[in-house]
Chains A and B, each alone.
Chain A
Amino acid sequence: MNARTALVTALEVLGWWAALTLLWLVLISTVDTLEWAVGTSAALVGAVTARAARRAVGAR
């Protein structure tokens, strides 16, 4: 993996992470610190899965 692919991967995961955190904030009703912690970790799981899924489909 060269520097450029690593950058693209990082950007893709970061983008998904931000979008999914936003989705979590939309779904919940009241925001507190624990919600932030749980929401960001769930969104990170989702973001990594999204990247892995796109790679699995792309690599053929």
Chain B
Amino acid sequence: MTRRLRMIVLALGGAGLAALFVAACFGMPGFGGDRHPYGDRAVHASLARRTANTISSVNFDQRAFDTLGEMSILFTSVLGTVVLLRQTRDEKRGRPQPQEVALPVRRYALVVLPVALVSGLYVIAHGQLSPGGGFQGGVVAATALHLLYLGADYRALERIRPIGVFEVGDALSASAYLVTGLAGVLAGTAFLANTLLPYGTFNTLSSGGTVPLLNAAIGMEVACAIVILLARFLDQAVEIEEDNGKR
């Protein structure tokens, strides 16, 4: 296939795609209009289960199975990173150097670390009430720990981050999501059906049935996964060196 022919095929394909997109745009409902057939049904279902945040109801109740898929994507991609960034035979591990840090920066890191951690837990716990949820809060909590690398050095971070515990936590929380789903099967309904728990009082922490539980599982999974992911990157960037003496 010559270059010219390839360009013609590409142009034809692109023109066809563009035509289809334009046609689809004319068939779409108006931007920000009043009719939302799917939205109205989702809001109705979410209010019936007393979940104030409809998005959480969609993610962890009406479409909880999709969230299971997303969680496994994160889990497997972190697993892939762990395998790819492992220490190979021709690499050696050096001790990270201590880093001088200006005093205000170090103090800021030490003060904001717990504040960010508690804010992350708040976002996880209030996923069914206000914007946020397991993913967002988990990332914030994981970021909080890495303030110790930014405000001090990698040795300090390694001291409060036992990586094995986080690996176990990652696996445990991923299976906690599955177990909550299987409990629905055992209770005689369907996988991940939100029928296990009473729906509770609207707009309080104990509302939405299994939504808060699944949120907590996802929050822990994401926090552990991000910590492991960043640990591999930090190991490569700070500690692992090519063994020059050997070759």
Contact = CB atoms under 8 A, between A and B. Distances in A.
Interface of B: 98, 106, 110, 113-115, 117-119, 121-122, 125-126, 129-130, 145, 148, 151-152, 155-157, 159-160, 203-206
A16 to B, nearest CB: 6
Nearest to B148: A53
20 contacts: A20-B118, A23-B115, A23-B119, A27-B119, A28-B126, A29-B130, A34-B204, A35-B205, A38-B205, A45-B121, A46-B117, A50-B113, A50-B114, A53-B110, A53-B113, A56-B157, A56-B159, A56-B160, A57-B151, A60-B156
A29 to B, nearest CB: 8
A46 B148 contact: no
B205 A50 contact: no
Interface residues of A, number: 27
Nearest to A54: B110
Interface of A: 16, 20, 23-24, 27-30, 32, 34-35, 38, 42-43, 45-47, 49-50, 52-57, 59-60
Contact of A32 (B148, B160, B205): B205
A28 B97 CA distance: 42
B204 A56 contact: no
Given A24-B122, A56-B156, A32 B204 contact: yes
B118 A57 contact: no
